[in-house]
Structure 1
Amino acid sequence: KDKKIRQYASQPSKPYSSSPSGAPKKRRPRPTSIKELIAFLLPYFFMAAGVGILVLLILVLWYSRDIPRPDKIIDRSIAQSTKIYDRTGEHLLFEAFDTQRRTIIPLEQIPEHVKWSTILIEDKKFYEHGGFDMKGIIRAIVKDILTLSKAEGASTLTQQLVKNALLTNEKAWSRKMQELVIAYQIERKFGKDQILQMYFNEIPYGSNAYGIESASQFYFGSSAQDLTIAQGAIIAALPRATTYYSPYGSHVDALMARKDFIISLLEEEGKITPEQAQEAREEKIEFTEKSNVIKAPHFVIWVREQLAEKYGEREVEQGGMRVITTLDWDMQRKAEEAIEYFAETNKENYDATNASLVAIDPKTGQILAMLGSKNYFDEEIDGNFNVAVQGKRQPGSSF
C-alpha cells in the first residue's frame, strides 16, 4: 500500500483544464517587441477602421437626404447693389444695398497676385484636392476633441463657398457633413476656375461687403482689378475673421502682420519677385474713410429716392442697377470748397449757420452740382436736410 502511494506521488501533476479532453488551454503570448506589438494591434486597427468607414458612410447617406443640389449655386438669385455714378461713369458716388454690398465680376478681372494671395493663405492645395482636405479634417477633428469644442477649421475654398452660398454658419457636425458632400459634388460639376470665380463673388469681407469687388471699393475706393500687391494681401487676410481683422477695428497691427505673412507666401511660391515683395511690405496703406463711402450725399440720396419711387425699393437694393447721373464730379468738389469757405464767412458776418448750392446747366436743365447744406453729417444743423430740394425756398435774385 505504501509503495502504491509513493508511485502515485511521484507522478507529475496535470494542470487543471475545463476542456472536455482535459488538454491545457493555450494562451496567446504577450508581445515582447515593437514588431510583435504592431502585429498584435493590427487586426484590431483594421476592425476599428472598417467600423469607422461604415459609420462614416451611414452618416454621409443620412445627411445627404435633404442637401441642396449643386446646381442651386448658379440657379439662385444673387442680390447685387445698385451703384450711382457721376456723368462719366467712373466716379462711384453711392452704393445702395439691402444687407449686402455686392458687385459680380469675372475671374479675368482679378489680378493673379490677388488670386494667389487668397489661395495660399486659405487653401494651398486648392488645385489638387477634390473639394476637401482629408488630412486637414483629421487635424481639425483631433483639435476639436482635445479642446472639447466645435471650432471651424480645415475648410477649403470650395467648402467656404458652400457654407456661404447654400448652407448656414452653424457649427455642428451635421452641417459640416453636408458641407463635405456638396463640396465634393460641386468639384465634380464645375471647373476650378469656375469655383474660384463663384468664391470671389460670394465670400463676405466685412462691413456688409460681399465679394471682392465690393470689398475693394469699400476699403480702397478702387476696383479689384487695380489692387496693388499689398492691398490684395489685405483683402485676402479678411475672410478668416472679418471683425477681428477689420481695418476700422482695434487689431490693425494683426491685420498688417497677416498681410506681410501673405506677401512672404507669394514670394516663397514664386508668384512675385523679392523686389516686388519688399516694395509691397513698405507700401503705405490708406483705407477709405467710412464717411467717404457716400459722395455728394444730398444729390445721391435724392436720386435714390427717385429710383425707389420709379422701380421699387427692392429693385434698388438688390437689382444691381448701374445709374449714370448728370453730376459733374470736378464741379461738385469745387462747389463743396466754395460752400465751406462762404459758410464760414457768412457765420462771421451774419451769424448764419448753413449754406446751400445748386449748379444747373441752363441749356439742358441737368444738375451739375448739389449741396443741400454745408455738411450732410452735421446733426447740429440738421445737415441731412436738403435745403436745395426740400426747403422750397424762393430763388430770389439768382434769376
Structure 2
Amino acid sequence: MLGLFILCVCLEMTAVALWRLPALRYSDPLRRTLWGCSAGFAVALWARFPPVKAALDCVAVDFSALVKYFFSMIASLALLNYAVTSYGAQSDPPRHIVICRTVAVVSRRATIIVIPTMVILFFTLVDRSHPTHDFAADHAGQWGAAVFMTLFYLYLGSAAATCAFQWGHVARRAETNSLRAGLTLGSAATWLYAAYSVVRVSFMWLAMFMHVAPPVEQVAGNAGDLLNVAAAALFATGASLPTTGVAAQRWQTWRLLYRLQPLRRDLALQFPQFSFQPLASRLREATRLAPSLDIRLDRAIQECGDAVEQLRHYATASLWPAAEEAAANHADSEAATEAYWIAAALRRAHAHQRSAIPAAPLPMKPFPDSQSEARWLVRVQDIYVGLSRGVIDEILVRAGRPHGNEQPTVTMAGSSQP
C-alpha cells in the first residue's frame, strides 16, 4: 500500500516538474528555482520507489540512498532560494526576511563543505557491507551513519522550517484563494519536512545510546517514509494550485485554436499571403511548442480577419441580405449569417468571380479581448463546417449571379471548403 502511495506521489511531483520545465527558457529566477525544487524532490521520490531503488542499488550498495539525499538537498536549497527571491530587493526588510536570507546564504556556503563530507562518510565510515531496506533505520546505532544523517537533516530541516514560517506568514495576506490555499499547503508540507528531520535525527542518536528493537525500527522507518511522502504530496498540490487558473486558461486557448483550424485552413488556402507561417496539419498545429499559445491564437484571429476582409472583393452587395434570410430560422442566426456569407464568398473566390466594387464590411463586433473574438469565430466555424453544397448554392441564387461589374481573376490557391 505504501509503495502505491509513493508511486502516486512520484507521478504527481514529476507532473509538476514537467509542467514547470519551460521555466528553463526564461531568465525569471522564481520560475527556475521552483522548477529546481520540484525536479529535485521528484528524483528523490523516485529513488524511494522499490523498482527504481533496486536499479540504483545495482550501481553500489545503498546508492539509492545517496541519490535520494543529495537530490533532496538540491531541492531544499532551491526551495530556500525561492522563498528568498520571492520577496525581491528591499532596503529595510523585516526581521523574518533577514533571517530567511541569512539561512539561505549559510546553506549555500555550507554546501561546499557538507556535500564532500557526506560523500566521504558514505563511502568510508558508513557500514555498507549489506544492502538496507531503510537506510536510516537499518544503520541506527552507527556513529558514521548518524553523522551522515545529521548533516543531511540539519540541512533539510533548517530550510524546511524557514520556508514553513515564511509561507505561513504570507498565506494570510494572499491576494487570491488559490494562492492562499497553495501557500497554506506549502507551509504544512515544509513543517512536515521539518518534523520529519527532527524525528529522524532523534531516532539515529537515540539508537547510539540504547538498543532499539527491530519492530520499533520498522515502525520508525515506515512512519518516516509516510511522513516524507505525505509532505511531498502536500507540496506538489500546493505548488500546483496557484497555476490551475493558468492551466485552465491555456487549455481553453488550445481548444479554441484547435476548433478554429478548419475555417482557418480554408481561408489560408484561398489567401496564403495572409498566413504568418505555412499552415500544417491539424495535429501538427495543435502540438506546436512555439510560439506561445496566446501568440498563435492572435495570429489565427488576424489571419482569419484579413482573409474575410479580402472576401469582400468576391461578394456582391446582395450576398449579406441573402445570408441573413437563409439564417433567419437558425438557433444562432448572427453566427450563421456570417458563416453563410463566408462560405458563399469563398465559393465565388474559388471560381475566380471578383466584384469590381467590394461588398460592405461585415458588421462590427465590440470584442473586449482575443478570447472573445476567438469564441465568436468558433461559433461561426462550427456552422461553417456543417454547410452543404446545396445550401451555399441556394444562397448564391438568392444573391443573384455576377453581372458586368464583376470579372474573373486569378486566385493563388484553391479552397477545400464545401
Name the TM-score, length of structure 2 as normaliser. Answer: 0.25
For the pair shown, the structure with the greater C-alpha radius of gyration is 1
Of Structure 1 and Structure 2, the greater strand share is in 1
TM-score, normalised on structure 1? 0.26
Q: Which has the higher contact order (CA 8 A, sep 6+)?
A: 1
